[in-house]
Amino acid sequence: MTSNQDELVIGLVSISDRASGGVYQDLGIPALRDWLGTALTTPFRLETRLIPDERAQIEATLVELVDTARCHLVLTTGGTGPARRDVTPEATLAVGSKEMPGFGEQMRQISLRFVPTAILSRQLAVIRETPDHAALIMNLPGQPKAIKETLEGLKDAAGVQLVGGIFAAVPYCVDLIGGPYMETDAAVCKAFRPKNALRAAPTTPEEK
């Protein structure tokens, strides 16, 4: 059994006034859960939160997921546009120790393949650090199709990668901040690490 120290914990936060108020069903958390279930081969535990577009509540939720629930990765969906109620990026920056601008840049590059309004997106990523823990927090799009494209990237009909998804860089980033070693199904999203950061697959009792 995986120890608590080594257990991969992922936080999923859907940010929507209407979904959190019961006006319609949230689609963000199920889309994230389904994608992670197909992409990750490393066992993981999820912490999910459905909250309104309130900056103070978003900040408190992100802090709780990292500092108390001890998540290594937190994915948010919703609240990244230019509307007055879209405050997810501001809340994320407020709780972050350092910004990781490459993630937001790549998310917009992927979305621009489909819609010119992708330039209106303010998605970003940060690292939140405490004295004994750290986590990567990433703001993702709100639509399930866009979530999948952003994480996985774009492939042609033959399965050749046209544009890399952002998740390929996530496992190594989590390595660098002291989190568990994450492995992915290469058919969905091949994680990239430098050769000196690769680990051998664990040996089973039958192989010893």
> Are 108 and 119 in contact, with CB atoms under 8 Å apart?
yes
Burial class of 1 by CB neighbour count within 10 A (0 to 12, 13 to 18, 19+): exposed
Average pLDDT over residues 19-37: 91
Confidence of residue 23 (pLDDT cuts 50, 70, 90): confident
pLDDT in tens, 47-58: 999 999 999 999
Query: Domains plus CATH for the chain?
Result: 8-207 (3.40.980.10)
DSSP state of 114: T
SS3 (DSSP) at 163: strand
- Predicted TM-score (pTM) of the model is 0.92
* Sign of the alpha-carbon torsion through 43, 49, 58, 115: positive
Residue 66 corresponds to which tokens in the numbers above?
A: 């990292």
* Sign of the alpha-carbon torsion through 11, 42, 140, 135: positive
Residue 24 has pLDDT above 70, yes or no: yes
